[in-house]
Structure 1
Amino acid sequence: MKEKNEDKKGMHEILHSSQKKSGLSGNRGSAINSKLRMRPAKLFVPDFCPRQEFIEMGLKKLKEDKKEFEVEGRDFCLASKKGARREFMEDGHREMVDIMGDPKQAFFAVIDGHGGCAAADYVAENLGKNIMKELEHVGEDQEHELQQAIRQGYSVTDKGFLSQGVSSGACAASVVLKDGVLHVANVGDCRVVLSNKGVADVLTKDHRLSSEDERLRIENTGGFVQHCRNGVWRLQGSLAVSRAIGDQHLKDWVISEPETKTIPLTSDCEFLLMASDGLWDKVDDQEAVNVVLKEKDSLKSCKKLVYMSSSRGSMDDITVMVINLRSFLAADHLP
């Protein structure tokens, strides 16, 4: 014991001497050390989170079994495939049609989870319901109030998930079709592309750290952004997106406020392509639109796009949805 105490004392003297030589002793050393501490450490994820582990284990069997699946509805179809290196599917989706008995009113969303599937599953279950609840208080022809209601739906969903105490996050892109108008919103890098007379029109903005305004927003609030492996900018050395639902540990910088856009539907609006970044990282917007136009069968085109991305080396989860907009045109815009 005496030898150990002497060793500690000796180490302390060496450290003190080293600080003197380098000029780090006293107030100056404290100030410099304080600055060094401002540089955030890499993301720390607890080895064990009982609640999260319970949720993840409950879903694991289902997620592992569903490596590929497809959904076909009256005005939409979807194909999804689990990434080759993923333990289980972290993508999600949600479709709500015939809202309030109106066949021209619907909600669709594509969701891309990270850090587990808990956030993606929560968003799939709650985002559409929360947005629709907020829209109940908005009258017709009130575009600003309607967009604000959609933002509030995202905020309520974010707060609801954070209250679960689960460490996970999710990007999401959603559309509300109502009264012949398309309302688009997104956080993260799920993307919505409109086919307008065969031309791809990107309706969303990818919230990634390669975006200068997003990077500056984070750095101005004390976040640390660095250029990491494979040329990808990452927040705190971990997350590649700047907006998402969830991500409790990064909530000072990762906001859940979506960017929104409102577009009146015309006869030139043919279909929407909604997909997670598992598609867009490997397939160009116009190329994807061309596949749907050429294939004619929407479900087959979804499956073909999933295959294209996978065959080009995507290891990520891939989810692709096509929505037929003809069914949602206002009467005065019907061809």
Structure 2
Amino acid sequence: MDDLGLYAIFDGHSGREVAEYLQSHLFDNILNEPDFWTNPKQAVRRAYKATNDEILEKVVGSRGGSTAVTTILINGEKLIVANVGDSRAVLCRDGVAKQITVDHNPATEKEKDLVESRGGFVLKRPGTVPRVDGQLAMTRAFGDGKLKDHITSEPDIKVKKIDDETDFIILASDGLWKVMSNQEAYDRIGELDDAQEAAEELIEEALSRESYDDVSCIVVVFH
């Protein structure tokens, strides 16, 4: 029997409903896909879309959405990571922090082109960050029914092997990454053995740096 570890950050905006729905349903939808074990990338992609369709139909009207970064650890050896939005996963190995998710930022050419190909636009007002249709500071999210034609819940997915040199993975909302680089986060907790202590240390450091966004963090230690 396979041993599964399920870890996620859901960072809601304009209410909590979408993030709470993801917490209750997204992993179930992924693991219930019939080809999860043979084609996990395809299964995760379908489950993300199906969950977003459920949210748009049952949970929210024109407002409310959430980012997601999900991690499935299989037998302590294989890691399936997917994300939508600007929450991030950073894999820490042999002293080096490597970001393995994509920040779906409207400022990047690829994501801007994606929005425009769906009939939307990216607007940056003075003193603010670029936003889809002048409203949402990310190009991919669950929910956000008012923008559903111009954004997507299509995830970026990576499959990684966990070996003896892999120390831990950090999952965190953008409130952490706005004030700390990937390597700074690794260096801050690299000597800690307790995952809970490490996550709390990163949150406290982000708050001490006056992060103005909410900060959620999980650290998964492999060995």
Q: TM-score, normalised by structure 1?
A: 0.63
Structure 2 gaps of 5+ residues are none
The 2-side partners of 1:198 and 1:149 are apart by 32
Q: Equivalent residue for 1:156?
A: 50
RMSD: 1.5
Contact 2:30 2:36 in 1 (8 A): no
The 3 A distance-change label for structure 1 pair 124 and 281 is same
| AA aligned opposite 1:137 | D
| AA aligned opposite 1:146 | P
Higher share of residues assigned helix: 1
Instruction: Quote how far apart the aligned CAs of 1:229 are.
Output: 4.3
Match among 175, 187, 212 for residue 71 of structure 2: 175
Q: Match of 1:163, SS?
A: helix
Q: Equivalent residue for 1:241?
A: 138
The 1-side partners of 2:177 and 2:28 are apart by 27
Q: Work out which of the two has the higher radius of gyration on C-alpha atoms and give 1 or 2.
A: 1
Query: What is the identity percentage for the equivalent residue pairs of Structure 1 and Structure 2?
Result: 36
Instruction: Quote how far apart the aligned CAs of 1:271 are.
Output: 0.6
| AA aligned opposite 1:186 | N
| AA aligned opposite 2:85 | G
Instruction: Quote how far apart the aligned CAs of 1:161 are.
Output: 0.9
The 3 A distance-change label for structure 1 pair 138 and 312 is closer
Q: Equivalent residue for 1:133?
A: 32
Match among 15, 20, 36 for residue 121 of structure 1: 20
The 1-side partners of 2:78 and 2:199 are apart by 24
Contact 1:188 1:241 in 2 (8 A): yes
The 1-side partners of 2:209 and 2:161 are apart by 36
The 2-side partners of 1:275 and 1:188 are apart by 12
Contact 2:112 2:121 in 1 (8 A): no
Instruction: Quote how far apart the aligned CAs of 1:256 are.
Output: 0.4
Structure 1 gaps of 5+ residues are 1-100, 327-335
| AA aligned opposite 1:168 | G
The 2-side partners of 1:165 and 1:279 are apart by 28
Q: TM-score, normalised by structure 2?
A: 0.93
Instruction: Quote how far apart the aligned CAs of 1:130 are.
Output: 0.7
- Written as runs of structure 1 = structure 2, the 5 A alignment for 1:6-45 is none
